[in-house]
Amino acid sequence: MGKVVQTIERAFNIIELLGNADYHLGISEIAQRSNLPIATTHRLLNTLLTLGYVEQNPETNKYTLGVRILQLRGAVIEQLNLGVQAMPIMKMLMDRVGETVHLAVLNEGEIVYIERVEGLRTQGMYTRIGKRVPAHCTALGKVLLANLPEQIWYDDVIRRRGLKAFSETTITNEEDLMVELEATRQRGYAIDNGETGECVRCVATTIHDYTGQAVAAISISGPQKQVTVERVPELGEAVRWAAELISNKLGYMDS
């Protein structure tokens, strides 16, 4: 186990304390329950206030959780619910194609893997849940970027992170990425041809919620010798079939 940073540990203790409290707490009570000096408690609360993780009632001067921590809680619940809704269909998709199926969301120009069903033909191709990968070099990322306004993905991917090369097939310039995203929109799914540096081919498409927003993506992945170029259209149809089923479970109705 790694060394704990004391200041961060104390800040999270205060957040947990406020989250478990049935009412707003004053600084003296927070300090007492946290076994911290008043001055240290005040400094930590001021930082959490500035960041939006804690709020202070202007009339009583007491503290409670802020909107930002509640937004994070809501995001976690949404992702957990998404995984629960998607898992049975992910297993059906894996049975249909025999390859590994992934579920991921987009966060600040990267994809985050939130669920996985290992394929019968691709056992041992392990992807850690929670792993983050740049969006521009994955089918999951590219299909989600294709559903965003250009300015948003330009800021999150091009300007903030750049188009880093991981293999000879990685897209490394803005013009090529724009062409790829348009091709993705036209065919309804994205393709990754070993662009992360692994000899893997992936096909992915988006999952939509009841508002029509693309909230996640689902992919089929396997070694290039198994997921051949000739199989891509078939796998594209299969992944779109699965995505439609999951989207319908989330209340999406394609007009």
Domain boundary among 65, 83, 116: 65
Half-sphere exposure of 90 (CA within 13 A, CB side): 25
* pLDDT for res 53: 87
Same domain, yes or no, for 137 and 231?
yes
Residues 55 and 97 placed together within one structural domain of the fold: no
CA atoms of 217 and 123, how far apart (whole Å): 21
Phi and psi dihedrals of 64, rounded to 5?
Answer: -150, 175
- Yes or no: say if 63 and 54 are a contact pair by the CB < 8 Å rule: yes
Q: State residue 71's pLDDT score.
A: 61
> What is the CATH number for 191?
3.30.450.40
Does residue 212 fall inside a structural domain? Answer: yes
Provide the pLDDT for residue 3.
65
Cα–Cα distance for residue pair 230/222, rounded to 1 Å: 14
| Cα angle for residues 83, 215, 168 (degrees, 5° grid) | 95
Instruction: Determine, yes or no, domain membership for 255.
Output: no
Residue at 131 is within a domain: yes
- Give yes or no: residues 94 and 43 share one domain: no
Shared-domain flag, residues 54 and 157: no
Examine the domain organization and report whether 38 and 114 are in the same domain.
no
Q: What CATH number is attached to the domain comprising 44? A: 1.10.10.10
Domain match, 212 and 239 both: yes
One domain for residues 200 and 96: yes
| Long-range contact pairs involving 128-133 (C-beta distance under 8 Å, separation at least 24) | 132/107, 133/196
Res 127: pLDDT: 76
- For residue 138 the two structure tokens come to 């994955």
* pLDDT by 10-residue block (mean), the chain, 255 residues: 76 87 87 93 93 88 81 59 87 94 88 88 70 90 90 78 87 91 95 88 92 90 91 96 92 75
pLDDT at residue number 108: 79
Q: Is residue 201 part of a domain?
A: yes
Total structural domains within the chain? 2
Task: Specify if 254 maps to a domain.
Answer: no
Q: Domain residues for 116?
A: 71-249
Residues 195 and 80 in one domain: yes
